[in-house]
């Protein structure tokens, strides 16, 4: 059977769609800016129009998948709530996709979709137990355990960004205190950098403290930027230590903006894991950057949709 599906990736700022053929993007639709389509009643028709365009060019499409940030009921195909996007509550997204297209559809958490894509086609390939971490505005994760996407009892598993770094730290957006996201989310990194620069008598705007700017500064030898990356790597390393002691994975994939900083964070992360776990846990553990970049969510969603289609066909 044809392995072609449409993958949709609901981001905080854009909704991207593409036709995916067995893990490869073969056609991209123009991304929809969420600020131009506020609320499901305007965004959903725009998505429908996008799907129509993609299917006209690629009639071989046989399933539709969507990766969505927030609390998703992947079994019943409902979006409980979208992270960072108001107005999206209790949307039966899967039923809509199926009604519009007459094709089988699947929806899942965006970090799960990304993890699934990296495991099938990217940096997690051939892993048995793979932990995927995505770093950006929010910090998310997905788990492949015993060669299957692990979703947990109420489909909430993989919330790595909500795990604790400091039990006495500041409250996070979902209720925990001192969680990883509060140390390595893009906004938190910028605030911390701005503070350290200010303490050193330097004035920088928050925009000048983005992960990309800090990467550039650190590679140019900026001591404060280097310290920031050490701190970020340490915090991520501490959380990954806990995951390694608990799950003993063979592979960890790190994606998103911060993940692209390369050895600036991979160095400190590996050091923390080597110092703080037993040899049997870290000596054969592979820690690698994500390979599919921003396409992971679409590729994974398409793959999950094909899996759903095949399960229905059985």
Residue appearing with tokens 């110092």: 275
Site for its own copies in 140-159 (CB under 8 A): 141, 143, 145-146, 148, 150-159
Q: For its own copies, give the closer residue by CB, 35 or 284.
A: 284
Site for its own copies in 165-224 (CB under 8 A): 165-167, 174-177
Closest approach of its own copies to the CB of residue 169, in Å: 11
Residue appearing with tokens 């960004």: 161
Site for its own copies in 243-302 (CB under 8 A): 243, 245-250, 275-278, 280-281, 284-285
CA distance 272 to 266: 10
The verdict on 83 binding its own copies (CB under 8 A) reads: no
Closest approach of its own copies to the CB of residue 108, in Å: 14
Closest approach of its own copies to the CB of residue 3, in Å: 26
Closest approach of its own copies to the CB of residue 14, in Å: 26
Closest approach of its own copies to the CB of residue 152, in Å: 3
Question: Which of these segments, 15-23, 35-43, 163-171, 215-223, binds its own copies (CB under 8 A)?
Answer: 163-171
Q: For its own copies, give the closer residue by CB, 159 or 295.
A: 159
Site for its own copies in 3-42 (CB under 8 A): none
Could you say which of 160, 184, 228, 298 contacts its own copies (CB under 8 A)? 160
Could you say which of 25, 27, 44, 71 contacts its own copies (CB under 8 A)? 71
CA distance 143 to 131: 5
In b/e form, how buried is each residue of 150-177, taking b as 16+ CB within 10 angstroms?
A: bbeeebebbbbbbbbbeeeeeebeeebe
What tokens appear for 54 in the block? 């993609």
CB of 32 within 8 A of CB of 45? no
Q: Which residues bind its own copies (CB under 8 A)?
A: 71, 80, 128-129, 141, 143, 145-146, 148, 150-160, 162-167, 174-177, 234, 238, 241-243, 245-250, 275-278, 280-281, 284-285
């Amino acid at each position: 059977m044809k392995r072609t599906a449409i993958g949709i990736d609901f981001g905080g700022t854009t909704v991207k769609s593409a036709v995916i053929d067995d893990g490869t993007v073969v056609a991209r639709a123009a991304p929809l800016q969420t600020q131009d389509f506020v609320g499901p009643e305007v965004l959903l028709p725009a998505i429908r129009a996008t799907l129509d365009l993609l299917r006209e060019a690629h009639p071989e499409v046989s399933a539709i998948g969507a990766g969505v940030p927030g609390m998703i009921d992947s079994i019943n195909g409902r979006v409980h709530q979208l992270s960072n996007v108001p107005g999206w509550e209790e949307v039966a997204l899967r039923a809509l996709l199926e009604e519009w297209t007459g094709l089988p559809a699947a929806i899942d958490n965006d970090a799960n979709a990304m993890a699934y894509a990296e495991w099938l086609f990217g940096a997690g390939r051939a892993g048995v137990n793979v932990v995927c971490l995505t770093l950006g505005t929010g910090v998310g994760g997905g788990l492949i355990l015993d060669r299957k996407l692990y979703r947990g009892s109420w489909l909430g598993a993989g919330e790595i960004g909500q795990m604790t770094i400091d039990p006495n730290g500041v409250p996070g957006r979902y209720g925990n205190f001192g969680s990883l996201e509060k140390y390595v989310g893009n906004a938190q990194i910028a605030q911390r950098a701005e503070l350290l620069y200010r303490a050193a008598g330097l004035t920088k705007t928050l925009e000048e403290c983005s992960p990309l700017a800090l990467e550039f500064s650190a590679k140019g030898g900026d001591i404060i930027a280097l310290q920031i990356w050490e701190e970020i790597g340490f915090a991520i390393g501490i959380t990954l230590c806990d995951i390694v002691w608990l799950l003993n994975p063979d592979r960890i994939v790190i994606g998103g903006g911060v993940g692209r900083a390369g050895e600036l964070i991979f160095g400190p992360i590996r050091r923390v894991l080597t110092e703080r776990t037993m040899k049997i846990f870290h000596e054969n553990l592979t820690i690698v950057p994500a390979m599919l970049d921003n396409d992971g969510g679409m590729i994974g969603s398409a793959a999950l949709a094909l899996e759903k289609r095949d399960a229905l066909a059985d």
